[in-house]
Amino acid sequence: MAEQRQDPRDVPGAGGGTRGVRAEEADAWGELVDTARRTVTDGLVVGTSGNVSVRVGDTVLVTPSGVPYDRLTPGDVTGVDLEGRQVLGTLVPTSELPMHLAVYRSTGAHAVVHTHAVHATAVSTLVPELPTIHYMTAALGGPVRVAPYATYGTAELAENMFRALADRTACLLQNHGTIAYGASLSQAFDRTAQLEWMCHLWLTARAVPGLTPHLLTEEQVAEVGERLRGYGQRT
């Protein structure tokens, strides 16, 4: 029989934080947990590596540190304000909280996904910028930069990431992984998956002996960027 878990909206002060969990936060937490679990099933992280967050008003819900995603329950809601002060839950927030908060403070992001994806991390050790191997580079704002290495969880890493994200929605973290943001958890996840795919593509192409991958020009990427502005269904 499937384990029955109580909805935090039915538990006053669920998680033991400084206030109760609001309905929109409970819904967002469920989507956050689903997204975090998807990073594992899709091979973007191993174990408890990587982290996910989503902004609800002035509260940032974030995966807690060192807790396997399949063990997270509705009552484990973990949230901080934009200054990093914990306002929901008792579990310690991810050690990468400085990166997440730096994104929210400087962009209109509503969700952030950080992973240790294998191909993307490999590329981060080889080049200062992902070569323009595919036109979907434009979907991330242009050539994806590599933020210089710094110890995880530090202000230095958050600052390096901030610079690499200028006019971009994703970047690589040297010898570490990826970070991407979006207007929703699904968009942040999709951008993360797209970045990993492009890194895999470039590594595959450059591994062919005696041949050098053809790369797109800055003008070609810019042209695609313009076309993508009108891509999709009109509403």
Residues taking part in catalysis: 96
Alpha-carbon distance of 196 to 91, in angstroms, equals 30
Nearest to 25 by CA among 94, 71, 80, 68: 80
Q: In this structure, what token pair is assigned to residue 134? A: 């595919």
SS3 133: coil
Name the amino acid, one letter, at 197. W
Alpha-carbon distance of 180 to 190, in angstroms, equals 9
The dihedrals phi and psi of 128, each to the nearest 5 degrees, come to -85, -10
Radius of gyration of the chain (CA): 18
**Region of 47 on the Ramachandran plot (φ > 0 left; ψ -120 to 50 alpha; else beta):** left
Nearest to 96 by CA among 29, 15, 165, 157: 157
